Amino acid sequence: MIVRLLLANALELGAGVGVAALLRLPLGASYLAGLGLTGILSAHLALVHVTYGWIMLVAVCVASLLVAFRLGRLPSATLTRPRLGLVGWSSLIALLALLLHAWPVFRDKPLDDYDAWAMWGMKGKALDLFGWANPHLFASPGAEPLHLDYPLLIPSLEAVASRAMGGFDPQRIHLQFLLFGVAGIAAFHGYFRQAISRRLLWPWLVVIAAAPAFMGQLLTAYADIPMALFVGAAVLASARWVGEGAIGIPAAPAFFLACGALTKNEGVVYAAAVLVALLVSTRRLAAVIAAGVVVEAVLLPWQIWLAARHVHTDTLLTAHSLEVHHPGIAPLALHALLGPAVALSAWPLILPLFGIAALLARATHVSVFAVTFVVVAFLGLDWIYVVSPLEWSNYLSYSGDRVIDGVLVGAAVLTPLLATERVSRIGWP
C-alpha cells in the first residue's frame, strides 16, 4: 500500500519535471509543481466525470517528460555532488531525522481532527468512491455546512493517493501530507541554492521544517500547510522575477498562486497580496494583470461548476466582500492574528527575524516586494473576519492560527533572501 503511494508520488514528481522545464523552475521545485499539476488536472476532471488514476498518472508523467526533452532543457539546477560542509551535513541529518521521526507518526495517526474527517477527508473519500464530483453530495444542501464551495485540489490529491493505495485509508492518507511537506522543503531548497549561501541555506530549511506549526498542522491533514507551501513557492518565484529585473510575465508565480487558490478560498487573498506586492515593487501593470488572468483561468472551471449547481461561494471577490458584518473589529481581529504569528509554540521568531531582515535590506526591490506582501496579506486576512457573517470571535478562535500559515511561510522563505540582499544584490543565475 505504502509502496504504491510512493510510486504514485514518483509519477507526480515526473509530471512536475515538464512544468519546471516549461516555467524554468529550479529542479527542487519539480515535486511541488507535480503535485500542483496533478491536483489541478484531477480536480477539474472530477467535475466532468473523469477519474484520475494510474493511467492518467503515467500518461501525464510521460507527456511531461517528453515536453522537457522536447524543449531541450531541464530545470535550472545541475545534479552535482553537494559540498555541504559541517553545517550543511548537520542540517541535512537533522532534516532526515525529522522525516524518520515523523513517518511512523503520520502513518499510524487516526483521522480524528474534525475538518480532516468531516470535510477534506470526506470529499477525498467520496471522490475515490464515486470517481468524480457527484453533485448528489458535492452540491447537496444537506452537506452545505461542510464548505462545499472550497476547491477540490486537496480532496482530489487524496483521491489519487487512495486509488494508488487501493482505497481510502484514514491513517495512511496522512503520509500524503507528509510527502507534501517534503515537496515544499525541496522547492524551497531549489530556490535557496540559487540565491543564498549554503551556510544559511541548510540551517534555514531546518528552521522551517522544525517549526511546531509546520509538522503539527501537516499532521492534521488540513489544507492550510499545503496552501502555504504553494504560497511560499510563489513568493520565492516572485522574488526571483523581481531580482531578475521583472522581465516578461511572472509565469512561475502565477502557476503556484493558481495552485494555492485552488487549494483553499483564502488562496485568493494570498494571490491578491502577491500580485499587489509585485505591482508595487516593479510597476509592471500588464505583467501583473497577465498573472492574475492565469490564476483566474485555473479557478474558472470550479467557479462555473459552483454557479451551475447553485452552490454559494466566496471564491470570487465580489460585492459580498464589501458587506461589512462586523464594523470596528478590524484592530481586534488583526491583533488576534498576530498573536499566533509570533507565538513560540507555532512559528518561533519567524516574523521578528523577517522584520529585522526587511529593515536591513530596505530600499531594494525585493525588500519592497516582501514587506508589501506581508502587510497586504495580513490586511486581507483581517478583512475576512470583518465581512464574514459568522460570529467573529469564535471564527477567529478555530481558524486564526491556521489562516496565517501562508504569511508565515512566505515571511520565512523571504528572510534569508533579504539577509542576502543586505550583503549584496541577489544574483539569480
Contacts (Cβ under 8 Å, ≥6 apart) of 310: 139
Q: Does some domain include residue 235?
A: yes
Name the domain count of the chain.
Answer: 1
Spatial contact of 188 and 232, defined as CB atoms under 8 Å apart: yes
Alpha carbon 422 to chain centroid, angstroms: 27
Mean pLDDT of all residues in the chain? 90
> Which residue's entry shows cell 509546520?
214
Grid cell listed for 248: 516578461
Q: Does some domain include residue 429?
A: no
Q: Does some domain include residue 83?
A: no
Tell me the CB-side half-sphere exposure of residue 207, using CA atoms within 13 A. 22
Q: Does some domain include residue 290?
A: yes
List the domain range (segments joined by +) for residue 265.
Answer: 2-74+94-423
pLDDT recorded at residue 82: 61
For Cα atoms 136, 137, 143, give the angle at the middle one, nearest 5 degrees. Answer: 125
CA distances from 255 to 29, 111, 247, 259 (A): 12, 30, 17, 6
pLDDT recorded at residue 73: 66
CA 16, CA 35: separation in Å to the nearest integer? 7
From 240, 251, 252, select the one nearest 193 (Cα to Cα): 240
Contacts (Cβ under 8 Å, ≥6 apart) of 303: 313, 315, 316
pLDDT recorded at residue 316: 44
Q: Does some domain include residue 84?
A: no
Summarised one tens digit per residue, pLDDT across range 268-326 is 999 999 999 999 999 999 999 999 999 999 999 999 999 999 987 654 444 455 566 66
For the residues 232-250, what does the mean pLDDT come to? 93
CA 117, CA 126: separation in Å to the nearest integer? 11
Query: Which residue stretches of 244-284 are H helix?
Result: 251-261, 266-282
Backbone torsion region of residue 287, taken as left when φ is above 0, otherwise alpha when ψ lies between -120 and 50, otherwise beta: alpha
Model confidence at 174, pLDDT cuts 50, 70, 90, reads very high
Summarised one tens digit per residue, pLDDT across range 147-172 is 899 999 999 999 999 999 999 999 99
CA 28, CA 17: separation in Å to the nearest integer? 9
Grid cell listed for 48: 466532468
CA 222, CA 14: separation in Å to the nearest integer? 25
Grid cell listed for 362: 530596505
CA 123, CA 80: separation in Å to the nearest integer? 42
Q: Does some domain include residue 277?
A: yes
Q: Does some domain include residue 166?
A: yes
Q: Does some domain include residue 85?
A: no
> Which class for 191: exposed (0-12), middle (13-18), buried (19 or more C-beta within 10 A)?
buried
